[in-house]
Amino acid sequence: MYITPQDELHVEYQGIALTCPHCQTLTHLTATATPKFDDLSQRKPKQVGVVFRCDACGEPVFLKFAVKAYTPARIELAQNYLEIERARENFPLTYLPEEAEGLFREALNCYAAGCFNAFGAMSRRTAQSLFRELGEQGKLDLFDTLQEIRSLAELDDETFAALRAVLFGSDSDPWPNQPDLDPQRAGILLEIMRDLLYQTFVRKARLMQAMTFRRFVAPTQIAAN
Ligand SMILES: [Zn+2]
């Protein structure tokens, strides 16, 4: 990926695709404002910001790229980029107990803002709130669900140990009582939290709703003969 002396951004064949922070669609982006080649060549910033347009909704999406090299013919940019505004993570929060709902909502905001350790800390608080709400048996059930996710998702031992420590560790454990989370582990933790909360609350609540609905709309039995 590079910027030409004609101020044009050249992107690889497949282009850039991401989940748009405005319309939540996985979509391609079109560059609409690329900084000027001459200006960049003169100042040589370490990062370059480009404004794109979401091909689905037309709203602006701002990305930052690290510069790999300044040459007279092109300014080469790194493949990966930093999203300034990330798509919000959706989760049916209303199915959670009230306190956990508030805590996990904030956890999702931390994740969307790219504050991954804050996300880890709020996920732990969400878990602590649930342990209190569900009691000792509930905590054991949550742990079983976590084990299940581990084997389903084929998590490696190291990742699993770190994420278990985030959710089930105690604040009175020796420092650091909570392991640091890099973006990759935070992403895995997010999927674990989703699945854990879904299995524990959403699935049951939806099933109960569906059962109640069926009881009311059960078709009249047709008598044999
Ligand atoms: Zn969009």
Q: What is the pLDDT of residues 156-177, one digit of tens each?
A: 999 999 999 999 998 898 888 8
Q: How confident is the model at residue 69 (pLDDT cuts 50, 70, 90)?
A: very high
Distance 1 CA to ligand 1 centre (A): 22
Residue 218: Cβ-neighbour burial (10 angstroms; 0-12, 13-18, 19+): exposed
Residue 86 has pLDDT above 90, yes or no: no
Query: pLDDT by residue (tens digit) across 184-220?
Result: 999 999 999 999 999 888 888 888 888 888 888 766 6
Distance 115 CA to ligand 1 centre (A): 23
% the chain with pLDDT above 70: 96
Mean pLDDT over the full length of the chain: 90
Residues that place a CB less than 5 A from ion ligand 1: 20, 22-23, 54, 56-57
Distance 10 CA to ligand 1 centre (A): 21
Per-residue confidence (pLDDT) for residue 220, from 0 to 100: 65
Residue 223 has pLDDT above 60, yes or no: no
SS (H, E, C) 35-55: CCHHHHHHHCCCEEEEEEEEC
Q: How confident is the model at residue 92 (pLDDT cuts 50, 70, 90)?
A: confident
Per-residue confidence (pLDDT) for residue 219, from 0 to 100: 67
Could you tell me the sign of the dihedral formed by the alpha carbons of 58, 63, 68, 74, in that order?
positive
Q: Are 28 and 15 in contact (CB under 8 A)?
A: yes
Q: Which residue has the tokens 């049916």?
A: 92
Distance 216 CA to ligand 1 centre (A): 40
Average pLDDT over residues 36-54: 96
Distance 79 CA to ligand 1 centre (A): 21
Taking the complete model, does pTM exceed 0.85, yes or no? no
